Structure formats: C-alpha cells, structure tokens
Amino acid sequence: MSPATGAWRGQAIALMGVVERNSYLVKRYGWWELAFFAWTVANTLTIVFIAKGVEATGGQLDVERQAASLLIGAVIWSYLGIIFEILTETVAWERWEGTIEYTFMAPLARPVHLLGMGTFGVLYGLLRTAALFGVVALFFGLAFPHADFAAALVLLAVASVSFVGIGMVTAILPLVSPEKGAQLGFIAQGLLLVVSGVYYPVDVMPGWMQAIATISPATYALHGIRATVLDGAGLGAVWGDLWPLLVLGTVAIPLGLAVFAAGERYAKRHGKLKRSG
Amino acid sequence: MPAVEVIGLTKHFTRRQGRRRVRVTALDGVSFTVARGECVAVLGCNGSGKSTLVRVLSTLLLHDGGSARVFGHDVRRDEREVRRLVNRVSVEAAFFKRLSANENLSYAARFYGLTPAYTRGRVPEILAAVGFPARRAAAPMEDLSRGMQQKVALARALLTSPTLLLLDEPTTGLDPRAKREVQAFVGEVRRTHDTTTLLCTHDMAEAEVLADRVGILDGGRLLALDTSAALRRRYGAATLEEAFMAATGRVLEDAGDDDDEEAA
C-alpha cells in the first residue's frame, strides 16, 4: 500500500471512529433519546394541530394539506436541529467530559473529524425524522398519495450538505467562547427557523427577511420537499430549489471548515483548547 | 536526532484580574532535549508551566516564541506527523463516562487509523497488561474507581504505540497501591517498548524511580536538568526534595493540574 493510500485509509477509519463513538453515546443514553423523541413528537403534534384549530375557529383552509405542510416543516426543522446539535454539542460535550484534548491531539484530520460528525448527524437525523414523520402522519391519518419520496430524499440529501457546513460554523462557537458559544449557536439556528418558511410561506415576511431567506438552504429544502411530497413534483420540477442547494452546499462546507480552522487556531493560541473554561 | 528538542520556548497568557488584564508568563525561554528512549521527569509547583509544556508538545497550544520538535518534526508546522508519534496520560483520566473501557478504547484507536480487527484483539491484551480486570471492560467508566480509570487512560495511550509518551501527573490523586501499579507499568513500558517519556510530576520518589534525568521548572523557567544524583550534588542536598527547595525556594506541594492560565 502506498503512503498516500495508507493515509487515506487511516482517515477513512478515523471517520468511522467518529460515527462509532456517537453511536455508542446514543446507545448508552437510550432513555434520554426516548425522552427527546417523545418531546419532539408532542411538539410536532402541537404544531400540526394548529391546522385543525384554524378550521375549528371558522378559518377557511384545506386542513389536510395545511396539516401535511406543517408536518413537513416540523420534521425538516427537527432534522436540521439534530444535525446542528450533533455538530455543536459534540464539541461542547467533549469539553465537559474532558476528552476534547485527546480528540484534538489525535492524528485525524479536522475535516475528517467534522465530516464524521456530519455523517453521523445525517444518518441519525434521517432515522429520527423518518420515525417522527411516520408517527405523526399515522396519528392524523395523513395520506400522501401523490408523494415522490425519492425526490424528497434527494433534496434532503443535497440540503444536508449545507446544513452540515453551517453546523461546522456553529460548532466552533463553544470552543472559542466556552460560556456563550452554545447560546450563540441557538441564535444562528433561531434565525434559520424564522426566515426559512418552516411553518409559513416565505413571502408573508417583510422584504429584508425574505432577502435573508434566499441564502438559507432550509428555504429551498422546505419549498422543494413540500412540492415533492404534497404535489408529487419530480426532480425536474423542483430544479429551482435543487440548484440553489447545490450552490449553497458547495460554498457551505469549505466555509464551515475554514471558519472552524480559524476558530481552532484562536483557541490554541489563547489556551482555550482544553477540558475546562 | 533527539526525541524532543525544545529551544527557547516561550508562552504567555492573559488573565483577567478584576477589570484589568494581566500578562502571565507560562514558559520563559525553556530549552532542553530528550534522547530517544530516555525518560525525563519535570518537577514543578502548580503554575510552573509543566502542563503548558505538555500541551505545546501535544499540539494543543501554540507557543509564542522559540521552537519545539518531536523526532525532528516541528510541533506547529508538522502537526499531523507529531500527532502520530505522541500520546498522553494526564492527571484527569478523561473519558466519555457513560461509555465502557472497551468503547472508549475502540473509538480512540480508530482516531489513530487502527482497524476494528486489530483493536478487537489488542484492547483485551493491553487492558490485561495494565492490570485491568476483563470483567469490568464493558462497565461504564463512571462506575470504575479513579485508579481503574487511570489504568484505562494508560491503555488508551499505549494502544497507539506512541514513540513519545507524555505523562502529566499520571498518579496524582491515586491511592498508594494504584500509584505503585501505574508506576510499575510505566517502568515496564520503558523496558519493553521503544518509547521516550516526558513525565511531569509532583512526586519526587516517582521521578527518582522512573526518570533518567530530572528537570526543575519554576515560573516557566527550567532551572536545572540533570540526573537526580547530579542535582543533589549541585545543590548540596541529601534528597531530591531538598535540591528542589534549594533551586526554587519553594516546597513542592501535591496538587492537580497546574495549567489554569488562560487568555481572557
């Protein structure tokens, strides 16, 4: 095996190590996982009930379609939240457990480390959101007779690249600012929630918010996935959502890696890359 | 080529004192070399710069001036090469506490490119070598004693076959029996592996037993580095402890991590 092949193989093993570690954590914190899932289901039910509530108070709307639209919003938001949480909390968690020094002095390349966390986030997020979608759809008896789920999955996969890139940017925050970092991550996440049309169409927002929405990958993911699941639109029909996701993904990962590298350098210069404070 | 070559190493931190920011010198022109296979102990009080030195050599901290090389690789420029050669045991046996010894070692080995097939065979061997009971290998780390956790920390470091082993107060806080077991294993590793060891400790007896040479670090300055006998002669002291007191004017108290400096 050539040295280059050996190095690549070593990094591939290291990437799987990141996935393996997070899998162990999910297994060992099984009851927490169950509790979080129950909370997410309850939260999503509450959101989807809004459609029923509007109808009950005399509002004119297609309840079935509106409930399905809200469900898609809640599910995609949950998926995005999981990816952010995995990327941000893992760094914060490692500080708390004290393992951060051992992880950061290991020879796994930082992009591999972060992509490993992103890979786990996507796999785990898909499982959790699929379960969430199934449970809530079953609860409300929602049917999706025209849905093109394959196209929806492609959109979600492409959007995931951008989500992971943005997650990398927020992941450095707890390292640079141990006290305020995680909170700043929540602000970034909250901004995406407001502007991306998770529960309402983007065009009901003021113009300046709509402008911000154009650079949020969640905007295109939600619009495209609603079209594929509710109207059965194929990939060709959602090209208008797909190409911005491709562009954003191409930018988000290098940007995420660059920001993380700059943050890590700062942390190493100022002695913040350690287990406490 | 020396295993470790440190020349004029300096590191400053800024610490908040009320509203003011105070500059603290953690390392002040430290220079020394460690030969391949040698064990060098560094003695120092809290805040003397021991952990800062270990963290620079571990590529976790960027120094301000001077240079540090591990087997010829610059710790700043050749970070990845240095990381392949170095592993570390620190005063806190840091693990994911809910995960078992097996799980912690398994994923840590993966970070060094070790395959699952290799790790499956090697982890039980290395745990047995450090005297860790096999029946506890699947128990969460939080259910293990501090001594047991430190043995797993040693196993984690040795699993990756480091050519430079950084021991940052590995026996601080352990009961006497666990301390003796860990020290015996470090001695065994020296005899059986091609491992160079840099040991930071408060424990004079540990330094005497394990190290070929002993350094005295105080206020970020390396005051002396020689064999224990030569240090005693130099300071006209009967014991290493007296030599330390003569060199620094301080008593070496037993305490934890000394690296509490941080930039604001």
Q: Could you give the CA distance from residue B261 to residue B245 in angstroms, rounded to a whole number?
A: 24
Whether chain A has a CB inside 8 Å of the CB on B96: the answer is: yes
Distance CA A142, CA A68 (A): 7
The answer to whether A107 contacts chain B (CB < 8 Å) is yes
Is position B133 within any domain?
A: no
What residues make up the domain containing B184?
Answer: 4-95+164-248
pLDDT band at B16 (very low <50, low <70, confident <90, very high): confident
Reading the block at residue A135, the tokens are 């449970």
Which range is least confidently modeled, A246-250, A260-264, B96-100, B187-191? Answer: B187-191
Task: Answer with the residue of higher pLDDT: B224 or A56.
Answer: B224
Sign of CA dihedral A248, A250, A251, A255: positive
Q: The pTM is what?
A: 0.90
Residue B138 contacts A, CB cutoff 8 Å: no
Q: Does B263 touch chain A (CB under 8 A)?
A: yes
Q: How far is CA A234 from the centre of its chain?
A: 23
Instruction: Dump pLDDT digits (tens) for A4-14.
Output: 888 899 999 99
Alpha-carbon distance of B124 to A5, in angstroms, equals: 29
Q: How many CB atoms lie within 10 A of CB B124?
A: 15
In a domain, A35, yes or no: yes
- Give the pLDDT of residue B38: 94
Using a CB-CB cut-off of 8 Å, the residues of chain B touching A107 are: 80, 83-84, 111-113
CB A221, CB A241: distance < 8 Å: yes
Q: With contacts defined as CB-CB under 8 Å, which chain A residues touch B88?
A: 101-102, 105
Beta strands in chain B (DSSP E): 4-17, 20-34, 39-43, 65-70, 73-74, 86-89, 164-168, 196-201, 213-218, 221-226
Q: What interface predicted TM-score (ipTM) does this complex get? A: 0.90
Name chain A contacts of B13, Cβ cutoff 8 Å.
270-271
State how far the Cα of B11 lies from the Cα of B26, in Å rounded to an integer.
5
Rounded CA-CA distance B120/B131 in Å is: 18
Confidence band, pLDDT 50/70/90 cuts, at residue B255: very low
Residue A18: give the domain boundaries: 3-269
- Where are the alpha helices (H) located in B86-227, listed in sequence order? 101-111, 116-129, 146-159, 176-192, 204-210
pLDDT of residue A156: 96
Contact B111 A101 (CB under 8 A): no
Mean pLDDT rounded to a whole number for chain A: 91
Percent of chain B clearing pLDDT 70 (strictly above): 95
Kindly list the residues from chain A whose CB atom is less than 8 angstroms away from the CB atom of residue B62: 265, 268-269
Distance in angstroms (rounded) separating the CA atoms of residues A247 and B134: 52
Q: Do A107 and B80 touch (CB under 8 A)?
A: yes
A274 and B CB contact within 8 Å: yes
DSSP secondary structure string for all residues of chain A: --HHHHHHHHHHHHHHHHHHHHHHHHHHTHHHHHHHHHHHHHHHHHHHHHHHHHHHTT--S-HHHHHHHHHHHHHHHHHHHHHHHHHHHHHHHHHHHT-HHHHHTSSS-HHHHHHHHHHHHHHHHHHHHHHHHHHHHHHHT---TT--HHHHHHHHHHHHHHHHHHHHHHHTHHHH-TTTHHHHHHHHHHHHHHHTTSSS-GGGS-HHHHHHHTT-HHHHHHHHHHHHHHH---TTTTHHHHHHHHHHHHHHHHHHHHHHHHHHHHHHHTT-SSS--
| CA distance linking residue A201 with residue B67, whole number of Å | 58
How many domains are there within chain A?
1
Q: Tell me the chain A residues in contact with residue B259 when contact means C-beta distances shorter than 8 Å.
A: 271, 274
Residue A3 tokens read as 């040295």
Instruction: Give the number of beta-carbon pairs within 8 Å between A and B.
Output: 113
Is a pLDDT exceeding 80 seen at residue B259?
A: no
The string over A129-142, giving b where at least 16 C-beta atoms fall within 10 Å of a residue's C-beta and e elsewhere, is beebbeebbeebee
DSSP 8-state assignment for residue B136 = G
Task: Tell me how far apart the alpha carbons of residues A118 and A101 are, in angstroms, rounded to a whole number.
Answer: 20
- Model pLDDT for residues B54-112, shown as the tens digit of each residue: 999 999 999 999 999 999 999 999 999 999 999 999 888 899 999 999 999 999 999 99
Q: Do B110 and A13 touch (CB under 8 A)?
A: yes
Query: What percentage of chain A carries pLDDT values higher than 70?
Result: 99
- Average pLDDT estimate for A138-153: 94
The region of weakest confidence among A186-190, B24-28, B196-200 is A186-190
Q: Do B112 and A274 touch (CB under 8 A)?
A: no
Establish if B29 belongs to a structural domain: yes
Q: Work out the pLDDT band at B262, boundaries 50, 70, 90.
A: very low
In a domain, residue A276? The reply is no
Tell me if A24 and B156 make a contact (CB, 8 A cut-off): no
A9 and B CB contact within 8 Å: yes
Give A 20-79 residues with CB within 8 A of chain B: 20-21, 24-25, 28-29
pLDDT at A276: 64
B136 domain-assigned: no
Total structural domains within chain B: 1
Taking CB atoms and an 8 Å limit, are A270 and B103 in contact across chains?
A: no
Instruction: Note whether residue A9 is domain-resident.
Output: yes
DSSP 8-state symbol, B160: T
* Position B134 in a domain: no
Under DSSP, the state recorded for B37 is T
Partner-chain contact B61 A104, CB within 8 Å:
no
Say if the Cβ atoms of A98 and B92 lie within 8 Å: yes
Q: Which residue of A has its CA nearest to B85?
A: A107
C-alpha to C-alpha distance for B63 and B126, rounded to whole angstroms: 34
Q: How confident is the model at residue A248 (pLDDT cuts 50, 70, 90)?
A: very high
- Kindly identify which residue of chain B lies nearest to residue A177, measuring between CA atoms: B264
Q: Which residue has the tokens 């000394």?
A: B258
Binary contact (A101, B98; C-beta < 8 A): no
Distance in Å, alpha carbon of A110 to nearest chain B alpha carbon? 10
User: For position A157, what pLDDT does the model report?
Assistant: 95
- C-alpha closest to that of A11 among B122, B115, B161: B115
Whose tokens are 């020094």? That residue is: A101
> What confidence tier does B253 reach under pLDDT thresholds 50, 70, 90?
low
User: Which residue is listed with tokens 């449970």?
Assistant: A135
Q: Which of B84, B90, B103 sits opposite A107 (nearest CB)?
A: B84
Residue B110 contacts A where some CB pair is shorter than 8 Å:
yes
List pLDDT tens digits, range A74-132.
999 999 999 988 988 777 888 888 899 999 999 999 999 999 999 999 999 999 999 99
CA of B254, closest CA in chain A: separation in Å?
Answer: 21
Q: What is the pLDDT of residues A164-186, one digit of tens each?
A: 999 999 888 888 877 777 777 78
Q: What is the mean pLDDT of chain B?
A: 89
**Distance (Å, whole) CA B38 – CA B36:** 6
Confidence of residue B187 (pLDDT cuts 50, 70, 90): confident
Q: Which of A170, A207, A198 is nearest to A88 (CA)?
A: A170
Q: What is the pLDDT of residues B197-247, one digit of tens each?
A: 999 988 888 898 889 999 999 999 999 999 999 999 999 999 999 999 999
Does any CB of chain B come closer than 8 Å to the CB of residue A178?
no
- Checking if the pLDDT of A41 tops 90, the result is yes
Higher per-residue pLDDT: A277 or A197:
A197
pLDDT digits (tens, 9 = 90+) for A191-215: 888 999 999 999 999 999 999 999 9
Q: Please report residues of A whose CB lies closer than 8 A to that of B106.
A: 20
Question: What is the Cα B56 distance to its own chain's centre?
Answer: 11
CATH number, residue B183: 3.40.50.300
Q: Do A13 and B90 touch (CB under 8 A)?
A: no
Interchain pair B97, A277: CB under 8 A:
no
